[in-house]
Structure 1
Amino acid sequence: MQSNNLVRVVLWMVGALLSFSVMAVSIRELANAHLSIFEILTIRSATALVILLLVLLIYPELRLALTPRRFKLHLFRNTVHFGSQYCWATALTLLPLATVFALEFTMPAWTIVLAVWILHERLTVSRVGVVVLGLIGVLVILRPGIASFNPAVFLVLIAAFGYAITMITTKQLTATESTFGIIFWMMAIQLPIALAGSDIASFARLAPIDILPVLGVGIAGTTSHYCLTNAFRSGDATVVVPIDFLRVPLIAVVGWMFYNETPDIFVLLGTLILAGGVLWNLRAESAGLRRAAGSPPP
């Protein structure tokens, strides 16, 4: 990969890491302001939808990309994704931030299992290794029988499984739908779901001090995925994913600075095990692609 592409990857990933951290802190602050998770997700979807509509005004030709060819799949994907977001956001209010971010990285293991089952993709040694090391990493983080168990961890694991389903259905949608269309329908479908569980009067009770977290959850919720998508577009996954794992130590520092959460060495160790499995699989997949293309290994 060329050096200028590497710089772009790093810059996009810095934006993604900061956005994920801002979103996590904003969700916790809005929960402290007595907003429900439904109401927080309403803010996120509404803000993102406003941003997308503004983009449509600037680039009206994108309207052609909004016609859904597989609306039932859009509906299924976004219902699952909303449920996953609900679990993830709730866990942010109940668990240390670093623990939530670490357990979220079980998603690649779930995705591989689902890809073999639904997409009939090939099962390799490295893909099995991701699943096994993912399980070991979770056990290290949770330390069953040693540390006091918090049932809220199941919320993160459910969210990670739901995100894996979202990844699989997104891959299916990309065969017929545009990226802009997928994102637009995500927000358009999830906004009424969030509104259905919201008390509209709660928004009127927001104080001026809540403006920053409102902006944070709305804007960062959009920029996080935008930056991450562009990072993958600018460079190989083998470069992007190792940087993405920096989310855990970064959010551990944020949790320590803002909420006096003591960094947990077992969370970091479990994350390293999870990262090891993912990186092993990425390296094996990259080598397989080079062999298929007939190019010599580096």
Structure 2
Amino acid sequence: MMIGILWMTGCVASFIAMALSSRELADTMSILQILLLRSAVGLPVMLILARHLLPELMQWRDLRLHVIRNAVHFSAQYCWTVGIVLLPLAYVFALEFTMPIWVAIFAWAALGERITRVRMVAMGVSFIGVLIVLRPDAGLDPAALIVLAAAAGYGASAVFVKRLIAHSSPAVIVTWMVIMQLPMALLLLLITGGWVMPAWGDMPWILILGLTTLSAHYTMARALRVMDASLAIPIDFLRVPLIAIIGWLFYGEAVGATIFVGTALIAGANFVAVRAETKAARKRGARQ
């Protein structure tokens, strides 16, 4: 249990560091260049750590699905980074918590997975939470819709992973992510232009971005191996108040109580749904 908490703490720290490094780098370079450098740092690390995966990678199994999944995930990363640059950091993290809603919708549409009553109620409560965060009566920032698109993209990507995990290990999936998303970013950057030579002062942020992109995936996977998702959600929820404090200290970002209320509804609804579904799965396993 304690090991799982430590892994999730590392995951939370990784996501916060990713957001901060993206915000800092966006002062001098485009989002496409940020995504390119992120993959450029991650690629040699993955190639060194994943040498034993070479036989599995050379099988080219589910290659088309990997390409589609990474195109969707890359688009989601782009939208997420747009939000990080344009919106208060806590706002972005709060809206990102809608991802489980999209996972349920896409898993039902693509995989035929049943949406339980508890999950339907959770989706309804989460939607109310989103409205509280967005506060459409106060004027809706278009960047918020871009972040919701990012959450939807992450949800679709997670559904692809559900398909891929049947034949590919998590390490192989992450390795293909780095290998494929680097040329995607490079091609788009060549088309649009705007490359800026990074300054020496940018190097620490570039390294942090590339390494925490990998560590965020790795620590979450390790945490979920040793603890239930229902226990991981409350720890993950700490991202919002922590990033709110950091945003206030470093960028003078003031956020209202509505963000915390809305996020609590979204995270709380997901917690209840995951806990109920986990208990139901255990009961089915006990009967069998």
TM-score by length of 2: 0.95
Indicate whether 1:38 and 2:29 are aligned: no
Matched residue, 1:124? 116
1:17-38 per-position Cα deviation (integer Å, ceiling 9, x unaligned) = 11111110100110012x1111
Tell me, in whole angstroms, the C-alpha distance in 2 between the residues paired with 1:16 and 1:197: 29
Number of positions where the alignment pairs a residue of Structure 1 with one of Structure 2:
284
Tell me, in whole angstroms, the C-alpha distance in 2 between the residues paired with 1:181 and 1:101: 27
Structure 1, unmatched stretches of 5+, are 1-5
Matched residue, 2:16? 21
Contact persistence 1:65–1:180 (CA under 8 A): no
Matched residue, 2:140? 149
Q: Secondary structure at the match of 1:161?
A: helix
RMSD of aligned alpha carbons = 1.5
CA offset at residue 290 of structure 1? 2.7
Matched residue, 1:292? 284
Matched residue, 1:192? 183
Matched residue, 2:84? 92
Contact persistence 2:30–2:194 (CA under 8 A): no
Residue from 7, 10, 13 that aligns with 1:12: 7
Tell me, in whole angstroms, the C-alpha distance in 1 between the residues paired with 2:273 and 2:33: 38
Indicate whether 1:224 and 2:216 are aligned: yes
Matched residue, 1:112? 104
Contact persistence 1:252–1:263 (CA under 8 A): yes
Matched residue, 1:174? 165
Tell me, in whole angstroms, the C-alpha distance in 2 between the residues paired with 1:245 and 1:38: 28
Indicate whether 1:202 and 2:195 are aligned: yes
Tell me, in whole angstroms, the C-alpha distance in 2 between the residues paired with 1:65 and 1:247: 35
Indicate whether 1:268 and 2:260 are aligned: yes
CA offset at residue 247 of structure 1? 0.8
Runs of 4+ in 1 over 6 A off after TM superposition: none
Which segment is superposed worse, 94-103 or 262-271? 262-271
Matched residue, 1:69? 61
1:48-98 per-position Cα deviation (integer Å, ceiling 9, x unaligned) = 111011114xxx432122122111101100000000000000110000000
Structure 2 vs 1, CA of residues 53 and 138 (structure 1 numbering), >3 Å: closer, same or farther? same
Amino acid of the structure 2 residue aligned with 1:11: L
Identity %: 42
CA offset at residue 203 of structure 1? 4.5
Structure 2, unmatched stretches of 5+, are none
Contact persistence 1:253–1:263 (CA under 8 A): no
Matched residue, 2:151? 160
Tell me, in whole angstroms, the C-alpha distance in 2 between the residues paired with 1:123 and 1:91: 30
Indicate whether 1:54 and 2:48 are aligned: yes
Indicate whether 1:138 and 2:130 are aligned: yes
